[in-house]
A and B are shown apart, each in its own frame.
Chain A
Amino acid sequence: MSDSVHTEAHDHSHPPSFYYKVYGVLLCLLVVSIVGPMMGGLTVLLVTAFGVAVVKALMVAAYFMHLNIERKYIWWVLVMAVCFLLVLFYGVAPDVMKSHGVNWKSLSTPPPAAAEPAHH
Chain B
Amino acid sequence: MSAFQIPVATTRSVTGIPTGRLAIWWVLASEIVIFGGLVTCYILFRLRHPEWAAEAAHTKLAAGAFNTFVLLTSSLSVVLAHLAATKKDTVNAKRYLTYTILGGLVFLCVKAYEYTSEISHGFTITRSVFWSFYYTATALHALHVVGGMTIMAIILPDVAKGKFLPRVEYIGIYWHFVDLVWLFLFPLFYIASAA
Contacts and interface: CB of A to CB of B under 8 A. Distances in A.
A45 B188 CA distance: 11
Contacts of A8: 13, 18, 166
Given A50-B187, A57-B183, A97-B48, A19 B80 contact: yes
Interface string A36-52: 01001010011001100
A20 interface: yes
Interface string A14-47: 1010011001001100100110010010100110
A45 B194 contact: yes
B158 to A, nearest CB: 14
Given A6-B11, A23-B73, A30 B25 contact: no
Interface stretch (B106-114, B133-141, B174-182): B174-182
A64 B176 contact: yes
Interface in B168-195: 169, 172-173, 176-177, 179-180, 183-184, 186-187, 191-192, 194-195
**For the side of the interface on B, what is the size category?**
35 or more
**For the side of the interface on A, what is the size category?**
35 or more
Nearest to B177: A65
A65 B195 CA distance: 32
A49 B191 contact: yes
Contacts of B1: none
B3 to A, nearest CB: 12
B36 A1 contact: no
A81 B17 contact: no
